[in-house]
Amino acid sequence: MKSIVSHLPDLPTLVTARLILRKMTLDDAEDMFAYASDQEVTKHVTWEPHITIEDSRAFLLDVLERYEKRLPANWGVELKATAQLVGTCGFMSWFSDHRRAEIGFALGHRYWGQGLMTEAVRQVIHWGFNECNLNRIEGECKPENVRSARVMEKCGMTLEGVLRQSVFAKGQYHDLRLYSILRQEWQCSDDVFSRKARH
């Protein structure tokens, strides 16, 4: 399957009620390290926890290169109230030929349970469908990662099934639950959400 991952739209700044989704910089290293080194955050993800702040800087350097080359990349999720980076959210892969992309996200442990990542993911999905003309957006999580699954469900994504031993990470194979939402489904749910927000 051909994947065209160059010349994607430049990531704009996206604003929600409580968040600013923006491009990250090397100045975000300390904030990133604070959550990316947390075992609670990294327990159910496939990437390794950051051991030193240099791991966070290396990650950010890779992100900056992806911005420059217009490759799929994360926004930094900044909390408006504190101007602090509390997580990331963005596209992990992008198949232009098929108007399909995969979303991924991470959030600092102390901010769980407040609906912040649902707010961020909804905004990214909205941008993908309404500004980039995507037709399908996917997301994956390990079966035990119930919080990530709940975020995707709250954003209207449908569980399609389990990809058995889909990835090898942290020394073992992992199953992944596959979620998706189609453009036509999002338009319906977005209309309902907008009507509720006005009342």
Domain edges within the chain: 14-198
Q: Sort 148 into a burial class: Cβ within 10 Å, 0-12 / 13-18 / 19+.
A: buried
Element (H, E) at 61: helix 53-69
Average pLDDT, the chain: 91
The pLDDT score that the predictor gives to residue 8 is: 78
Higher pLDDT: 196 or 81? It is 81
pLDDT in tens, 43-88: 888 889 999 999 999 999 999 999 999 999 999 999 999 999 999 9
Confidence of residue 188 (pLDDT cuts 50, 70, 90): confident
CATH of domain 14-198: 3.40.630.30
